[in-house]
Amino acid sequence: MARRIVSVSGVLGGKPVLEGTRISVELLLELAGAGIANETVLRNYPELAAEDLAAAFAYGASAVRAERVIDVPLQA
């Protein structure tokens, strides 16, 4: 995963992208979340491979893995 996902300050404001592209992890996660099939994504972005999508999904999972939600009671 680490070799496929990079952040470069001059590319999309430093957002994580697939190496050698301007295709962000964010975009790929949004497409997956919208129900777009991997095969469709790969057809529309021929520079990507299935391993790139897997790396983007793994990156997204790792980004939220340590996220914690703290329930704070509302005060009346």
Domains of the chain: 5-63 (1.10.10.10)
Give the Cβ contact number of residue 75 at 10 Å. 4
User: What is the distance, to the nearest Å, from the Cα of residue 7 to the centroid of all Cα atoms in its chain?
Assistant: 12
In the predicted model, is pLDDT for residue 1 greater than 60?
no
Measured distance between the N- and C-terminal CA atoms of the chain, rounded to whole angstroms: 47
- What's the pLDDT tens digit per position in 14-71? 999 999 999 999 999 999 999 999 999 999 999 999 999 999 999 999 999 988 889 9
What local confidence, expressed as pLDDT, does residue 16 receive?
A: 96
Q: Among 38, 43, 67, which Cα is nearest to 54's? A: 38
Predicted confidence band at 76 (pLDDT cuts at 50, 70, 90)? confident
Q: Report DSSP state, residue 50.
A: H
